[in-house]
Amino acid sequence: MILTGKARLAGVVGWPISHSKSPRLHGYWLEKLAIDGAYLPLAVEPDNFEETLHGLMNAGFQGVNVTVPHKEAALRFCNEVDPLARRIGAVNTIIFKNGRSFGSNTDAFGFIENLRQNSDQLNFSSAKVVVLGAGGAARGVIVALQDAGVSNILLVNRTKTRSEALAQGVSEGQNNKIQVCAWEDRNNILSGADLLVNTTSLGMAGQPPLDLDLTGLPLSAVVTDIVYAPLITPLLDMARSRGNEIVDGLGMLLHQARPGFEAWFGEKPIVTPRLREFVLDA
């Protein structure tokens, strides 16, 4: 795409950034929709974050995505932050308008949308959900589940103090109950679950697999992993071979990108099987 002087600009700010799939993803939509615009990978060191964002805003950028390690700094940077991002404690999408910045977090939307579009049997309001892990990713997933109306959430993490802090942090002002379970009990709490979510880094390329015995998990349960490299993690592979429905983590990445794209470039992008292949084929 050759740009004109009126081209709309956006990008993803991270450190490092070379692994990011977002430029390819947004680039695909820009080309498909023949938009006069560009989406750039922006490698920005933590010390330069604020200065760079002011620079991008002053240079007329529509906004940016923000990734590791800047998501908390982005929350502090923005003039306004939406309530969901505040509850998650992280901003991943910023819109610049009239010299002001508006922050949101679309990871929760991406997580739920991926499940909604790829699993027909999930009923969020009555579901028992087991979430493994208590890092930043787990926080987004739990807030997303609470917002989708899930009232029965079991949280299990190797370091229990972390899951307790997380459960307490996201429960303020919410009706949903989060039950914190011991890591040693992770196999036992699977009985009766409708959804199992892995948010730990276990199973990611270069990491050991998650040590979990799925024997007690109902065959009707959906299993999802927010890890998408590899696409089929050892957990998803194990779940699929015993007959559970699985939802891989790539869809979350694709869907979380939609709100930002629409705000910056003015058109609604869609997630298709060809887009999935294109993003993976890098």
Q: Which segments are annotated as binding site for NADP(+)?
A: 133-137, 157-162, 226, 249
Q: Between 17 and 263, name the residue whose CB sits nearer to ligand ATR.
A: 17
Residue 128 appears among annotated catalytic residues: no
- 11 scored as a contact of ligand ATR (CB under 6 A): no
251 binds ligand ATR per the rule CB under 6 A: no
Task: Choose one: 11-19, 23-31, 86-94, 135-143; the region binding ligand ATR (CB under 6 A).
Answer: 135-143
Q: Does 169 bind ligand ATR (CB under 6 A)?
A: no
**Amino acid code (one letter) for 140:** G
List of E strands, 169-265: 177-182, 195-198, 222-225, 245-247
The smaller minimum CB distance to ligand ATR, of residues 134 and 246, is found at 134
Between residue 100 and residue 119, which ones bind ligand ATR under the rule CB under 6 A?
A: none
Choices 6-14, 34-42, 116-124, 127-135 (CB under 6 A): range interacting with ligand ATR:
127-135
The residue nearest ligand ATR at its CB is: 135
Least gap, CB of 159 to ligand ATR (angstroms): 3
* Stretch (H or E) spanning 169: helix 160-171
> With CB under 6 A as the contact rule, which of the stretches 4-12, 105-113, 132-140, 229-237 interacts with ligand ATR?
132-140
Q: Tokens for 97, please give them.
A: 């308008």
Site string for ligand ATR, 187-206 (x = CB under 6 A): ------------xxxx----
Buried (b) or exposed (e) across 73-87, using 16+ Cβ within 10 A?
Answer: bbbebbeebbebbeb
Residue 250 region, left (φ>0) first, then alpha (ψ -120 to 50), else beta? alpha
C-alpha span between 219 and 70 (Å, rounded):
39
Phi, psi of 136 (to 5 degrees): -60, -40
- Which of 71, 97, 128, 177 is catalytic? The answer is 71
Taking CB under 6 A as the criterion, the residue among 158, 218, 229, 278 binding ligand ATR is 158
User: What are the residues whose beta carbons fall under 8 Å from the beta carbon of 228, sequence distance 6 or more?
Assistant: 248, 249, 250, 252, 253
The two beta strands, 80-81 and 8-14, are unpaired
Active-site positions read: 71
Contact residues: ligand ATR, CB under 6 A: 133-138, 157-159, 162, 199-202
